[in-house]
Amino acid sequence: MSLPPFDWVVTEYGQVVLRVCRALLPMHDAEDAAADAFLAALEAYPRIRPDSDVKAWLVTIAHRKAVDILRRRARHAVPVADVPERASGGEPSLADEALWAAVRDLPGKQRQAVAYHYVADLAYADVGAIMGTSEAAARRSAADGIKALRLRYPSASVAPDQSKPNKEMS
């Protein structure tokens, strides 16, 4: 069994890595971190075992890139708060950008656990391994994070359902 072309890895997991990075970092840093994560993955790719869990491997690399960037930001200058972000080319809807901002405001462990379980859909055993904690602790952090998000981002429980009739129309 041999490795498929790396391009197929980008096609299959590009979105999920981008979304994980957006959950962890402000948007301009997020896209930079995602590209750096894939560059590091490209370098190491010929050496991975063909039966590896590629998604967990990529999210682990993205996790390290994000930790590096946050550490660097913390060392230098005053962290720039979440200024309203330019949508560089793409048009993310406002509701989603607000959700990402809410995720980024979570405490570190909760933010990571939410990103790796709810955004990347990894099992808690993998989430724990990436965060350097136990499966149970990862599960707890994710549950706490989701609970906090529901409070800070209550509109998500009702708003984005496009199929419901708009009150103002009637």
- Residues in the site for other proteins, rule: CB under 8 A? 2-7, 10, 14-16, 18-19, 23, 31-32, 34-36, 38-39, 42-43, 45-46, 87-93, 95-96, 99, 103, 114, 118-119, 121, 146, 149-150, 153, 156-161
CA angle 101, 61, 21 (to 5 degrees): 15
Closest CA to 108 of 135, 75, 70: 70
Structural Rg of the chain based on CA atoms: 17
Distance in Å, CB of 27 to other proteins, minimum:
9
In the bound state with other proteins, the residue whose beta carbon lies nearer, of 54 and 131, is: 54
In the bound state with other proteins, the residue whose beta carbon lies nearer, of 47 and 75, is: 47
In the bound state with other proteins, the residue whose beta carbon lies nearer, of 4 and 79, is: 4
42-to-4, 54, 149, 151, 162 alpha-carbon distances in Å: 12, 12, 34, 40, 39
